[in-house]
Structure 1
Amino acid sequence: MRTKRLRPGEKGVGASMGPIGWPEMVVIFVVALVLFGPKKLPELGRNLGKALTQFRQASNDLRSTWEREMQNIEEDTRPLRETARGIDREIRASVEPSYDYGYPSYSEPEPAAPPAAPAEPATPEVRSPEGAVARTAGEPEVLKAETGAGNGTDPGRPSATV
């Protein structure tokens, strides 16, 4: 994101000093005054200004060199990209079928598969309570063995051997 470069004395978004506010600037100035003294402070300010100016120039030179090289690369690769787009169009045209809507198709349709035969409905086995009683009435030994009746165990619990 680029900000508008402000002239001295202009106010705006670009005039902010980032996370450093005026109270912090006053503290930094007082500490610099105590450390370097009033005689060296103007010289230190000039040197700091020169260093910041050189840093900005180097940063701008790097940015302009980067942008120029990116433009050169884009110009060099433009013919290759156009060739690749042309090949892509040719491939897509050969793979995708072309349809002429409104005209009959000249190819014969594939024969349809015969319909599957309908399945017969399953008939559920009907169990009645009378049939269950009649079936178990004639087989008392099987009933005792299944339920555990007659051996002194609870029908709900498995028998344990000791």
Structure 2
Amino acid sequence: MFQGIGVPELILIFAIALLIFGPSKLPEVGRSLGKTIREFRRSTREIAEDLTADVEEVKKEVEEVRKNLKES
């Protein structure tokens, strides 16, 4: 995910965040960011699962139609 970000860049990002939010708010901001990322991943996983299930359902319907056409 962060292939282009090295240790120096992470330290710089942390220092800027520390300056912007201060040491007392930084843990709260980190927790909020973590929760947001987790929720985003969960949502995208659910969407992918729903799409996969829909594709499988359509495949089954196509196979049924093919069988019916062959029998006719």
The TM-score normalised by the length of structure 1 is: 0.41
The aligned counterpart of 1:32 is: 17
**Offset at residue 83 of structure 1 (A):** 4.9
The aligned counterpart of 2:36 is: 51
With a CA cutoff of 8 Å and minimum separation of 6, indicate the structure with the bigger relative contact order. Answer: 2
Task: Name the count of aligned residue pairs.
Answer: 71
- What is the alpha-carbon distance in structure 2 between the residues aligned to residue 19 and residue 58 of structure 1? 26
Q: Does 1:20 align with 2:5?
A: yes
Give per-residue Cα distances to partners, 1:81-117, cap 9 Å, x unaligned.
3455x49xxxxxxxxxxxxxxxxxxxxxxxxxxxxxx
Partner of 1:18: helix, strand, or coil?
A: coil
Q: What code does the residue aligned with 1:68 have?
A: A
Runs of 5+ unmatched residues, structure 1: 1-15, 88-162
Q: How does 1:100-115 map to 2 (within 5 A)?
A: none
- What is the alpha-carbon distance in structure 1 between the residues aligned to residue 37 and residue 3 of structure 2? 16
Partner of 2:5: helix, strand, or coil?
A: coil
- What is the alpha-carbon distance in structure 1 between the residues aligned to residue 37 and residue 7 of structure 2? 20
Higher-Rg member (1/2) = 1
Q: What code does the residue aligned with 1:51 have?
A: T
Runs of 5+ unmatched residues, structure 2: none
RMSD: 1.7
Give per-residue Cα distances to partners, 1:58-81, cap 9 Å, x unaligned.
000000000000000101110223
- What is the alpha-carbon distance in structure 1 between the residues aligned to residue 47 and residue 3 of structure 2? 23
**Offset at residue 17 of structure 1 (A):** 2.3
The aligned counterpart of 1:64 is: 49
